Structure 1
Amino acid sequence: MSKEVEIEAAVLRRLLKHLDDNKSVQNIDLMNLAGFCRNCLSKWYMAEANALGQDMDYDQAREKVYGEPYQEWKEKHQTPASLEQQTAFNESTANKNG
């Protein structure tokens, strides 16, 4: 493995740890701020694994990103989106599509 790949892998592990250490940051907050969330990372993870010949489904990828089965994480840590969060999300989505 090249140094660049090792560095990229370490950065991903650090990002996932940071997200794990900050469970109070909701996916909608990430979407509103950065335009991606844990679910996006899961989809990217799955796509890259599949592209490299590794059989992985969405649930397996989410478990890699969330550190536990998604449903368990959701029950423990996800809170309902506030009206303010929903409005910001809808506005950012409309701006991308309009």
Structure 2
Amino acid sequence: MLAEQNNKRKHPRLVHRAKVLVIYSDEQSEQLQMNDFSQTGMFIGCAHEKLPALGDSFHVQSLEIDDAPVLRVSVTRLVPGQGFAVEFIDESAD
């Protein structure tokens, strides 16, 4: 199912709820809920009062798929009380 579209979006979002592991560092990670995703990023539900900051970079991994890839992401949007949007970072360019 396609999510409501924002005219600024380059790629359509697909509504798909799935558990993801958000890996902030070697010592800190948490399981959260992905609400939707596109070719370039995803929205992660998080009702915490303390959201990551815009521009923060960390890794995410789907918990639905065995041996799912660990993807580097950067926070692009914050929605207090709901969660945050991230953009996938192409690490092959490093």
Fold-level similarity (TM above 0.5): no
> Scaled by the length of structure 1, what TM-score is found?
0.23
Larger radius of gyration: 1
Q: Relative contact order (alpha carbons < 8 A, sep ≥ 6): 1 or 2 greater?
A: 1
More strand by share: 2
More helix by share: 1
